[in-house]
Chain A
Amino acid sequence: MKLIKFWNKAIEHYCTNNRKDTDEIFETVFIAISEESLEKIKIKYIQFGKLKPLEIELSEKNIESSGGTIDSYYSAIKEVHNDLNRPEQYSFLRFSILVVGAFKQDDSPLRNFWKDFDPFILNKGISTINNRTEYLNRLILNLSKWCFIEHKKTFFQLNVFGENSTIVNVGRIKAHSVFQGRTLRNIKKSIYSLGYTDTHSIDDLSFDDVETIIKNSGETRILNLFNRDYDAQEIVYVCLKIWLEKWTPSQEEKVQLLKGKVSLEKASLTIKRIWTINRENNQIIEIKFGFIYRTELGEEGLYYLNKDENVYIDTSWGIRLTDNRILYVIENYSSGINLNHNELDLKFKNKQIDLSEEVYALEKIPNRNYFIEHQDKRVKIIDNPILLASKNEIINENADYFSEFKIQDQNNLKYKLYRIIGSSKYNFLSFIKTNSLNIFPIGISDGSSLTKSYLSSFPIKINYNNITKGEIHVLKNDDIIEEIDLNENSDKLGSEVSIGCLPEGTYKIKYFDNNEYLNFKNGHDFILFTIVDAGNKDRRVDLKSEIVNSFNYNEFRWFKPFESPEDSYVIYQNNEEDLCFKDKHTDFYFSKSNRGDWILRPNKDISYLQRILFNPSENQLKYSTWEIEMTYLSTQFIQYHYKIKFCERPNSLRLPFDINDFYQKNDSNRITNDYINADCYYYKLVQMDVQLMEKYPNVAIGDEIYVFSNKRENQQPENLLKLVNQEFFPFKK
């Protein structure tokens, strides 16, 4: 195998495959490669098992003969640089040398990248890149396409500097060199120990927060980079957020990373200014203050932040921004009031209430007249419309004048509002329009998974995020049935358009701009959706008839009569050498698939769990490498500790199934199978404390148990064990 081919493939494998050493799935491809990591990259690729023994032997020989791992890498680079006209070939390898160079220059400003890079490769006898912009653009375009088509991932292209910036290309390279897996582990540890995971979503970490986190992590390389200049700081800030985007903090990871040390540290919440702008409100802007929290602060109710000054939040008015960002408005806020002794035990960073700046960047909250003020100087326009509030008039082709508003209670203070429609700079603010095209339908889904399929009885809306030009076409059988001209979008602040009820059929959404249909994020130039018949049943019942029982938690009692399947979930402890699932509160949920056959669906709520001691399957058992600490609280309220391993994925078993043995909720069931597939999860005891050994002398380390359930927990099989653990010690015999 040729060296260039070997190294290109090895780097591709290293950067795109899911890492076994972390449990994250990165959807963004970073080519984070330094000279030191080359050895690891080589070994990982060889161990991957895709190469034939002969190819491995040949590659090893080639590497050896060119002077070892590092030298062989540079000689591969030398070879690809002999032809700089074809960046589409060996793109991973080509891009990697740029990043290796970037790792070597942590101490110099971004603008000096080429000044340092060229001597570095010349020194290795590698030719320099002359037409850099074109070379890089083609290289990155090819990587983006390949990563999407081959790996369904996005190649990371930093967008903070905007298309026209002189350092945009350097930024794109440098961003890849900021983090590596092990650096990230220390950063996460620091985030846990500072208490950010309880209060902040990653999106809401400010520059100050990120600085505190990096300082506390002891990662001096990152800290130096962060403190060097504004450009580098921003790259670190943006990259960190992207690396952590898909990360869900968990108690287990916290315990593991902090080695059991409990951190009582609380992170301060940043108070944000919220502009409420409503045209119907006599051109007056009301200023409110609030903060964004990671989770819901309980159910509806008032919580005082300062009782004496009547400063409070009303949680029934929380505004959900995304899954883990909820905005709470503080009533009667004033910067002079101390909020740090409050009922919720939250810490706040105070905010000056006066409007002192000439301009402010404001991001709209969907469906609301609320605009959150941006803290950063660089503002990315992603999903929501961005407004610029300015004391003075602005003439800029990318700023559409909107209206002039007075600030409430400050009558001499007026701001002109502009909708920002493209990348531009004004005063100290710069706006960067991102170019990902995201348009999607909104409707009431018919319940079939994996496809976008909606009811014909409910009107369809189309969300077009921040797109302000071009046309949206809705097509049925390739005929355009609806054209929405976004240039004519009169109120300029919406991001949704209603297209009413559609008859049954298959539809496409396309986006038309500059005389062509553009590609969406998914790589296609259309978004497919179907509309299904709504049906004309009458689901009404006579008044005062029995109300559907709600889901109640009940402990399993052996002779409880069978009443209603959703009444309870059952944990059945089975010590027999036989599976027991007929008439024992088992509940299978079937529904019709798109093809019209009946299939078993995962249950959202658990109906039953059966723990058994024998292995019902002949398949080989495969455990995940993770070990989890568990605590069992006995009925005498004594805590016992033990550790388990859990299955990588459940074994699937075919169980005999006779429909007549089961109570049916839906008379139209037409299941013809005489079997059902059931998932069997398994767990192994790997450690237990002395008290537990004394309490259960016949349980030993290495014992395995099996759990049947109709609840699907493929991602986190440990969740099922936790349920059992609430009831009894799972390994009990």
Chain B
Amino acid sequence: MQEKITKKQINLLIDVLVTSGGGKSQYGKLNEIIKTYTTENRLIRNTLLIWLDSMGIMDVDYQNHNNYYLNKPLWLKSSIKNHYILYGAITNDEIKELEINSEVKKYDRNKISYNNFEIELPDTYYTTNPGLINELDYEVIENPIFSAIDNMEGLSLIENKLHQGILQEIKISNDKQSNDVDGYRIILNQEQTPLNIFPQYDIKQFNWRTRNYIKCDIVKELSIEEEEEGLKLIKVIIPQDSSGNHKMYYTFLLEKSANEEWKFTYFDPTIVDERWARYLFIDKLEFYDIEKDFRGRDDMSKLLVFQNAKSAFNNKSVLIEQNPESSNFMKIPNVIRKQLVQYDSRQGLIAFPVSMPLPKEIMRYLFSCSGSVPQVFKNKFTINPDYNIKKLFSGILSPEGTNVPFANQKYFMEEDFYLFSHVPTQLAEKIFEKLNLDMTEDVYKRTFLQKI
């Protein structure tokens, strides 16, 4: 292990923040303390903050890590029978009291580790009867918090709340002949606050294949033919001071229908967690079901994908061997979309890729089911998005069209997944519903752990 944050350090961090805020500064010194634990590594810092937030210890503002709130602890009913977890930020003094109380037990394996770092997170204290714990006067919540998921907004509702408009082009050049665009102007809210973005800014677009934001040339990306369609999720990073330490992040979903202008949706961080944007983006990318095509079910054989694949085979696979030209506006096959969130109803397990964490409300619901941080496991059966999806089945199809059920191993890759336990079916159903993901019978009944 290259880097490790120990439980003792985390407990101290929370204790210092609760009792003194880390100094006279109004917002405390969260960042400074984390820096004494780790080297300058955003992945570790962000992972730590995601989990302190998901565990209900603090509310973190992801725009500015100096803005956070620490939550008062309370006894919360989990999804396990007669099981209450202590949810919130606790001080070292309180830990001492909890440790000597025979009514209180603890789960001490809250740990997140992947790549070459390991973060130990605070223990979760639990009890079967919070009424018996008199010394610590914490509120008791008898209903699990995930009962509130009905009130939670889903993808489509969130989309409606966000500010939308038409992307305006900026042309600085005096040359009236030139059609070159120099930048774009976006109106951020009802108050008409404008944001100008230029290609020389730090602009990235979300790539569903790598599930990551990748640098892009915005003018090039948006210069497509009049009759073409497009869909991009982009993030613009603008430094707020000359040192570049304070940055603002703006997330936009850009959408263009044939013969229309580019439209934008602004993911205002005061309204919505950026992670919703990724799911909304995936949701908007229409998907096709390649499996069905190849299995020749129904009358799907008339579809374009099948014909393409078939002609590719007949033409000695030139098309198949090629890497996709653009990884952005490519339709997502259903098989990949299904892998975004998986649920095993028999064991009450839910899994999703580490690189695409669920929105913060959902993370909290999932944590509160059992009070334990998920395990990170390597799913060896993630379809490798670096390959053209058609390749997955290319090696095994015969010219007659008889299908062979399993694709070639080399087109799959290992991917880190978070795995939550004790997730009730009702909650899983709701999460799928909120994310507009299809919890079809396929997903529902399959025990995905069998594949591991």
Q: Do A543 and B237 touch across chains, with their CB atoms under 8 A apart?
A: no
Nearest residue, chain B, Cβ from A554 = B193
| A298-B172 contact given A444-B36, A555-B193, CB 8 Å threshold | no
| Chain A residues numbered 329-365 whose CB sits less than 8 Å from any CB in chain B | 343-344, 365
Contact in complex: B43, A316 (CB < 8 Å): yes
Contact B248–A553 (Cβ < 8 Å): yes
Q: Is B348 an interface residue (CB 8 A)?
A: no
Shortest C-beta distance, B46 to chain A (Å), equals 8
Is there a chain A Cβ closer than 8 Å to B171's Cβ? yes
Interface string of A187-229 (1 = CB under 8 A from B): 0000000000000000000000000000000000000000000
Please determine whether A444 and B18 come into contact, CB atoms closer than 8 angstroms. Answer: no
A592–B19 CA distance with the chains assembled, in angstroms: 19
- Is A695 positioned at the interface, with any CB of B under 8 Å from its CB? no
Of the stretches B70-78, B280-288, B298-306, the one at the interface is: B70-78
- Contact yes or no, A547 B12, CB < 8 A: no
Q: Is A725 engaged at the interface, CB distance under 8 Å to the other chain? A: no
Q: CB within 8 Å of A: which of B168-191?
A: 170-172, 191
Residues in A with CB closer than 8 Å to B354 are none
Q: Check if A299 sits within 8 Å of B72, measured CB to CB.
A: no
Does B21 lie within 8 Å of A537, measured CB to CB? Answer: yes
Interface string of A686-725 (1 = CB under 8 A from B): 0000000000000000000000000000001001000000
Q: Which stretch from A2-10, A34-42, A317-325, A614-622 is at the chain B interface?
A: A317-325
Residues A457 and B40 in contact, CB atoms below 8 Å apart: no
Near A by CB (< 8 A), chain B positions 71-114 give 71-74, 87-89
Separation of A288 and B202 alpha carbons in the complex (Å): 27
Determine if A296 and B244 form an interchain contact, defined as CB atoms under 8 angstroms apart.
yes
User: A446 interface residue, CB < 8 Å from B?
Assistant: yes
- Contact partners of A662 in chain B: CB under 8 A: none
State whether the Cβ of B419 lies closer than 8 Å to any Cβ in chain A. Answer: no
B92 closest partner in A (C-beta): A457
Q: Is the CB of A550 within 8 A of B63?
A: yes
Contact A299 B235 (CB under 8 A): yes
Please report the C-alpha to C-alpha distance between residue A303 and residue B217 in the assembled complex, in whole angstroms: 13
Q: Tell me which residues across on chain B come within 8 A of A666, comparing CB atoms.
A: 26
Tell whether A447 is near chain B: CB-to-CB under 8 Å.
yes
Q: State A554–B67 Cα separation when bound (angstroms).
A: 19
B403 interface contact, C-beta 8 A: no
Decide: A447 and B24 in contact? CB cutoff 8 A.
Answer: yes
The distance from the CB of B92 to the nearest CB of chain A, in whole angstroms, is 9
Q: How large is the interface on B (under 10, 10 to 19, 20 to 34, 35 or more residues)?
A: 35 or more
- Interface pair A540/B71, CB less than 8 Å apart: yes
- What chain A residues lie within 8 Å of B269 (beta carbons)? 550
**Shortest Cβ gap from B388 to chain A (Å):** 14
B215 proximity list for chain A (CB < 8 A): 298, 301, 303, 343-344
> B137-176: which residues lie under 8 A (CB-CB) from chain A?
170-172
Are B70 and A539 in contact (CB-based, < 8 A)? Answer: yes
| Segment of B27-35, B308-316, B334-342, B422-430 in the binding face | B27-35
- Judge if B59 is at the interface, Cβ distance under 8 Å: yes
Q: Does B15 contact A (CB under 8 A)?
A: yes
Please tell me if the beta carbons of B40 and A539 are within 8 angstroms of each other in the complex: no
Is residue B362 within 8 Å, beta carbon to beta carbon, of the partner chain? no
Q: Decide yes or no whether B64 CB sits under 8 A from chain A.
A: yes
Min C-beta distance of A34 to chain B, whole Å: 37
Q: With A343-B215, A458-B12, A554-B193 in contact, is A444–B32 under 8 Å at CB? A: yes
**12 interchain pairs, CB-CB under 8 A:** A299-B235, A301-B214, A344-B215, A444-B16, A457-B19, A457-B20, A458-B33, A540-B71, A541-B72, A543-B71, A543-B74, A550-B270
Which residue numbers of B lie inside 8 Å of A, CB to CB?
A: 1-3, 12, 15-29, 32-33, 36, 38-43, 46, 56, 59, 61, 63-64, 67-74, 87-89, 115, 170-172, 191, 193, 202, 204, 210, 212-215, 235, 237, 240, 242, 244, 246-249, 269-270, 386
A-B pairs with lowest CB-CB distance, top 10? A320-B40, A447-B23, A447-B24, A316-B43, A534-B20, A535-B20, A540-B72, A446-B23, A540-B70, A301-B213
